[in-house]
Chains A and B, each alone.
Chain A
Amino acid sequence: MTDSAPMLDHGQFSKLFPFHFIVDADMRVIDTGSVLARVCPKIVPGALINDHFLLFRLASEPIKAFNRDFIARQENTLFVFKSTSTDLMLRCQVLILRDPERYLFLGSPWVRNPTELKALHLVLQDFALHDSTVDLLQLVQATSTSLHDAKQLSEKLEQRVADRTAELSMANAELSRVMRSKDDFLSAMSHELRTPLNAILGLSESLAEGVYGDMNTKQVKSINTIAESGHHLLALINDLLDIAKIGAGKMELELTKANVEDLCQASLRFVMEQAQKQKINLKLVMDNQSVMLTADERRLKQILVNLLSNAVKFTPNGGSVTLETKCDLESESLMFSVRDTGIGIATEDLKRLFSPFTQLDSKLSRQYAGTGLGLTLVMKLVELHGGSVAVESEIGKGSCFTVRIPCKGLDTLNQHNPSGTISLTEITPAETLPSNTPLILVADDNEINLMTVTDYLRANKLRVIQARDGLEAVKMVREHIPSLVLMDIQMPLMDGLDAIAHLRADDKHTDMPIIALTSRAMVGDRERCIAVGANDYLSKPVNMKQLVKTIRAHLPNDETL
């Protein structure tokens, strides 16, 4: 100590260093701090410090027999003592005092958390104010509390996540159940709605044809309205079921190689009658007439018919509707464009166009009947093919819907085939099935019946040609010599009975199987049909499975289905 160092009395020194102790050269206690004396009452003056403290050194056993020489060598080292009677550990610095030789240990308890403090029966006031041990303890406690809070928060959040996940799982399970119910419902609806609807349509047709007697004009008008509404309802149900099927991922495409021209012709024929009524000029423009496309033929036709029907519907009398096909060899896709000179669509309405049940103007929905599902279905069917739909339109000038269907290895059977515009009068049905496949002539003046039966027979691997009246039926039989004829009885120009009689009068066609199809479910109808030469008779609405079964029964054995 220098002369300027303060001289402290024992009380002051003890207040500053309440855990100090002083030993002599023999390691006997001379003095202790007030708190150490309280905590270790046996450390009294004269006691041998080695009896009460072990000296700790890192990485070695505690040293019991420490002496003055050892301490003198370690003067600049931190001393850690462990009480032999309590859990108290003291961390100290030693000062060697001279005259007489004494060793002063200054320090404080080594505690790492408040619990140790309690175990040692120490309170915070036992520490000198300058001792940062208490700050350290307070900091440790605060950190521990913060960690505890954070853990609790984390547990709370984990619980919330778990609850949410459980809720989501339940919601998902419920959703799956609802989806299953929906599928079941749709399946039931498909059957339950179509069955009575078939009866409504069949009976309407029979009534309209006078099967149950003559009707006055008002009654005819009413029955036609019933029939139209029934067909509209059937279209709506079919569209809904298709959309639901696609939505549920249950619609699988039946990909086959299809002749694009045939596909276009068949689609155009479907709208021909309506186009003729409105004096609309229907055109087919192809850049290559022999192109083949791998697609689901039935669905592709559904796409084109939807677009063509819309085009005809929204085109005023005397306008034109063009179906245009274009091969894009670079992107390996085929473009079908349906262009009309109709009322057009405003730019702001284009984005709503493909939403379900959307008719852009409520006035239009009254003027132009439609399911409101057609374009939605088109979009979904095109997407199912991996394609896209684009639309360009101008109010008052018309619209153009372009469907792009990807087609890897776009196959042009005849590269030299000229491109050009084909007049509809040139359109003739063609088949993509092998030529030894049975060829069926379907004669019916009702486009829906014609398409339904055609689609079903084609789906059953039969080639089909069509006629819309008795005269055309006779002409086509002579030209194509089909394997079998399905003859509707009520037809314009020449009815089915006369057509059968004409064919049977020709020696070439005496053995050709003819099945009469009629809604005349009256007593004696069958006999009349058989009498003129029909081989069999089926009444409408016809069960498709039964129809195929009947066809199979009448086809020669070497013509397989």
Chain B
Amino acid sequence: MYGMVNKSVQALVTTKFGIDKWEEIKQKAGVTIEAFISNESYPDAMTYGLIGAATEVLKLSADEILFAFGEFWVLNTARQDYGDLLSSAGRNMPEFLDYLPMFHTRVALIFPHLKPPRFECSDRQADRITMHYFSHRPGLSVFVRGLFSGIAKMYDTPAQITQTKFKDKGDDHDEFLVCWGDAIQKSG
């Protein structure tokens, strides 16, 4: 997994809960690395271990942590690590979501060893879009939902994110319907 992911978990915990909790989580997960390098590859087990330890230390559910982590990823870590490139990925939320597959394709081109996930878009409408998430890594759909929520917050666009397909329930991938504007009222 991307070092940026672990870095984000670290930043989230230290920002919201303090450095001592992070050290406790690291110790519990058996992680001795002092600082993560964003574009380096780390074992997936390390990230899962950190998240697992965080649920124990912070006494939060895995879903709560993963969702918060997704939002934090966009609003803090990605903003910091991608800088202006992130805001240049779209002038508004729909443009950004539309560009997300291309963004990941480019990451895969530059860092093939990182094995980033793949996104696809479909059913683009004025107030909704369907996002498809393909990853060999299990259990991260709540994190992706948090990502979309973070993107909506980044563009100050109230949005409703609904997971419509579940890989862990037998679908071939995870699918999300992202609605904004009038679509929220319609679906709500």
- Which residues of A does B touch, CB under 8 Å? 113-115, 117-118, 122-125, 129, 134-135, 137-139, 141-142, 144-146, 149-150, 152-153, 156-157
Contacts and interface: CB of A to CB of B under 8 A. Distances in A.
Contact of A115 (B83, B90, B95, B106): B83
B36 A114 contact: no
Interface in B31-53: 34-40
A115 B86 CA distance: 11
B88 A138 contact: no
A156 B83 CA distance: 22
Given A114-B84, A115-B84, A141-B83, A134 B37 contact: no
Interface stretch (B19-27, B57-65, B107-115): B107-115
Contacts of B35: 149, 152-153, 156
Would you list the 6 A-B pairs with minimal beta carbon distance, nearest first? A114-B84, A114-B85, A153-B35, A118-B84, A149-B37, A145-B81
Contacts of B99: 123-125
Given A117-B85, A123-B91, A124-B89, A142 B111 contact: yes
Contacts of B38: 142, 145-146, 149
The SS class assigned to the B binding surface is helix
B34 A157 contact: yes
Contact of A124 (B40, B88, B109, B110): B88
Main secondary structure of the interface of A (DSSP, over half): helix
A135 B106 contact: yes
Contacts of A134: 106
A499 to B, nearest CB: 82
Contact of B3 (A125, A129, A149): A149
Contacts of B88: 114, 117-118, 122-124
A343 to B, nearest CB: 53
A540 B109 CA distance: 97
Given A114-B83, A114-B84, A141-B83, A146 B106 contact: no
B164 interface: no
A139 B102 contact: no
B110 A137 contact: no
Nearest to B92: A123
A311 B83 CA distance: 82
A94 B96 CA distance: 33
Contacts of A137: 85
Interface of B: 3-4, 7, 34-40, 81-85, 87-91, 95, 98-99, 102-103, 106-107, 109-111
A117 B102 CA distance: 17
A114 to B, nearest CB: 4
Contacts, number: 75
A156 B36 CA distance: 12
A122 B84 CA distance: 11
Contacts of A145: 4, 38-39, 81-82
Nearest to A143: B39
B121 to A, nearest CB: 13
A124 B37 CA distance: 25
A139 to B, nearest CB: 5
A129 B110 contact: no
A138 B107 contact: yes
A123 B85 contact: no
12 contacts: A115-B83, A118-B84, A123-B95, A123-B99, A141-B82, A141-B85, A144-B83, A145-B82, A146-B37, A146-B40, A150-B37, A156-B34
B82 A153 contact: no
B7 to A, nearest CB: 8
B110 A135 contact: yes
B83 to A, nearest CB: 6
Given A138-B106, A142-B39, A117 B34 contact: no
Given A135-B110, A145-B81, A123 B89 contact: yes
A129 to B, nearest CB: 7
Contact of A123 (B34, B36, B90, B110): B90
Contacts of B91: 123
A356 B4 CA distance: 56
A141 B89 CA distance: 13
Contacts of B39: 142, 145-146
A557 B100 CA distance: 111
Contacts of B82: 114, 141, 145
Contacts of B4: 145
Nearest to A140: B85
Nearest to B110: A139
A116 to B, nearest CB: 9
